[in-house]
Chains A and B, each alone.
Chain A
Amino acid sequence: MSLITLTWKSLLSRKWTVWLCSLSVALTLSLVLTLQTIKSSSEDSFTQTISQVDLLVGARGGQLQLLLFSVFNMGSATNNISIEAYEKWKNHKSIEWTIPISLGDSFKGFRVVGTNLDFFKHYRFKKDQSLKVESGRLFNQEAEVVLGSQVAKALKLKLNDQAIITHGVTKGSGVVHHDDEPFQVVGILEPTGTVLDSSVYVTLEGMDHLHHHHDNDHAKSISAFYLRTKNRVETLQLQREINEWKTEPMMAILPGYALSELWNNLSYFENILQLMVGLVALFGAITLVLLMTLTLESRRREIAILRSVGASPRLVSKVILLETLILTVFGSLLGLVMSKVMLIVLNQMMIDKIGLVLSSSLLSLQDLQFILVALIVGGISSLIPSYLSYQRSLKEGLIR
């Protein structure tokens, strides 16, 4: 029988202690992993939702408001910009491409985005990833709708199902249902891990048609548009031109700059999460040390037997060290499973409430790093009860 087998059998004989200690490690790690995932997902969601867009353009108003509604589906536009203004800037010599965005409707709580095929052609997220259709195709008619992966999953929708879009962006009674304008699901997008997954895409004309322009095949206005310049150097010049345009009051913002400014404003949120992660980890380590130290008292006799048979104080402390490490490994695995379950439960809630998609990978590099840290912390924590058992073994000699 090896020392590990002896330790394992000793642990099995104290199931309650094992569960308690493992649960303490598991709860700590699951909370740390969950908080860390929320933290990094928030950051990713902010920094990776949109790439390769040089300017966001909307009606004149707040910079933050334009960023939030046009990129994160949060809040709404107070004013629209006319389609004529959009067409004018779209054909500007410095602009490579544009993506028009029209907002204001929802589908069972998910934001409806009116746009055109340029959105699917040019939009990039997570640096250089483009949107891909998982099943079906892109829309080409007014009454067709393409769903973000999370929408299809949450509402259990499949191709050719009908979607009745409501006016306004809230759920519940009092909202106007466009019952007479059912849309047909023609495509479902691949997951992106961003807010795009919880959006519903229709044509600009379809969006406009819903409201009041039944007599016209073309949209009258849009909420905002994204643009890419032919030469990045021209971005600031173009921004100034748009902002100073007299014909229609408009505002162009740099998404990267606005995003980092917003994230800096929200840094207290990040700091609080970081502090919580640290405190939870500290309390977890203290709890483990306390539990292991308390169990030493109940194991006095067992330790004395080992000593009388010939175990040195060093060997006894090695057994305690090994025990704590086994508990930490077991607790870490349990914690990983618990955090994944917690994230699955939280994910839908976060999407519904703040449009945040939590990272859903089964085992990320971050998870492995935190498990490694947990094992190191567990190892360091185990030195305390191990040292105490060593001292006690020296002091108490052979108890009979």
Chain B
Amino acid sequence: MSEQNLIEIRDLEFSYGQASILKIPEWNLKKGDQVFLQGASGSGKSTFLEILSGVLKAQKGSYRFDHQEVFRLSDSQRDQLRLNKISLVFQNFNLIPYLSVEENILLPFSLGAKHPVSSSETLQLMNQLLQELSIESLKNQKAQNISHGQAQRVAAIRAFIKKPLLLLADEPTSALDENSREAFLKVLFHLCEKMKSTLIFVSHDTTLKSVFTQNISIKSGQLQ
């Protein structure tokens, strides 16, 4: 595996019974890349993300992530991989409503993620990010009491607090207006750079693709 690559996929095939969902002969992703991925509903996009995040395992082929052969890992090892090295951000930001903003941000560590730095430094980093995104006053508020715009920033901080190698953002801007969308993208790029994370950004909105370093689309289970 090349030192520069975070992901290397070879001859990957995923199917449900007889139906082939995904077929990727070869695909590499360099560390630090920011990829725009587009695809219609049913194109195999969700399956691709679930394979990349280690939730699903393809029946054929290989998927190397950070020098690890993911399909050879056990279920719990793949869960550990996701817990420590991969973050996900979704359209509805997936905050747990009864937890405070701080508890939501630190949730990965409550679930067993390793602190990339010491736990006190993690707290410092969280406070710093809260400040940078102007939501430090919300730290003790319950997630159910904050606005949509504030929730997206909290979700972004939670995704980056564990300094992930890969961030998978699945249509995180589709419910936002233009201003909010731009603001969120700005935050995402800023944090990716700061944490040296690689980004795969899924969206239907092709007007955004110009700001990414790589553009790919998925059609009938094939990357183009």
Contacts and interface: CB of A to CB of B under 8 A. Distances in A.
Interface of A: 1-3, 5-6, 9-10, 12-13, 302, 304-315, 394, 397-398, 400
Given A3-B111, A397-B56, 12 more contacts: A1-B107, A9-B103, A304-B94, A305-B94, A305-B95, A308-B88, A309-B88, A309-B108, A310-B108, A312-B75, A314-B76, A398-B50
A400 B170 CA distance: 8
Contacts, number: 76
Contacts of A6: 99, 110
A310 B56 contact: no
Among A302, A304, A308, which residue has the most Cβ atoms of chain B within 10 A?
A308
Interface of B: 46, 49-50, 53, 55-56, 75-76, 79-80, 82-84, 88, 90-92, 94-99, 103, 106-108, 110-113, 158, 170-171
A305 B110 CA distance: 13
Chain A at the B interface: mostly helix, strand, loop or mixed? helix
Nearest to B92: A400
A310 B91 contact: no
A136 B111 CA distance: 67
Given A304-B94, A398-B55, A400-B91, A310 B111 contact: yes
Contacts of A306: 96, 107, 111
Nearest to B89: A308
Nearest to B81: A310
Contact of B110 (A2, A302, A394, A398): A2
B88 A398 contact: yes
Contacts of B103: 1, 9
A13 B112 CA distance: 22
B107 to A, nearest CB: 5
A35 B6 CA distance: 66
19 contacts: A1-B103, A1-B110, A3-B110, A6-B99, A10-B98, A306-B96, A306-B111, A308-B88, A309-B108, A310-B83, A310-B84, A310-B111, A312-B75, A312-B83, A315-B111, A398-B50, A400-B91, A400-B92, A400-B94
Contacts of A10: 98
Contacts of B83: 309-312
B65 to A, nearest CB: 15
Nearest to B50: A397
B95 to A, nearest CB: 7
Contact of B98 (A12, A304, A310, A400): A12
Among A310, A315, A397, which residue has the most Cβ atoms of chain B within 10 A?
A310
A239 B91 CA distance: 92
A13 B158 CA distance: 21
Nearest to A10: B98
A2 B94 CA distance: 20
A315 B113 CA distance: 12
A309 B143 CA distance: 16
B69 to A, nearest CB: 19
Contacts of B171: 400
B79 A13 contact: no
B113 A310 contact: yes
Contacts of A302: 96
A9 B92 CA distance: 21
Contacts of A397: 50, 55-56
Given A397-B50, A397-B55, A398-B53, A311 B111 contact: yes
Contacts of A400: 46, 90-92, 94, 170-171
A304 B95 CA distance: 11
A9 B90 contact: no
A323 to B, nearest CB: 13
Nearest to B142: A13
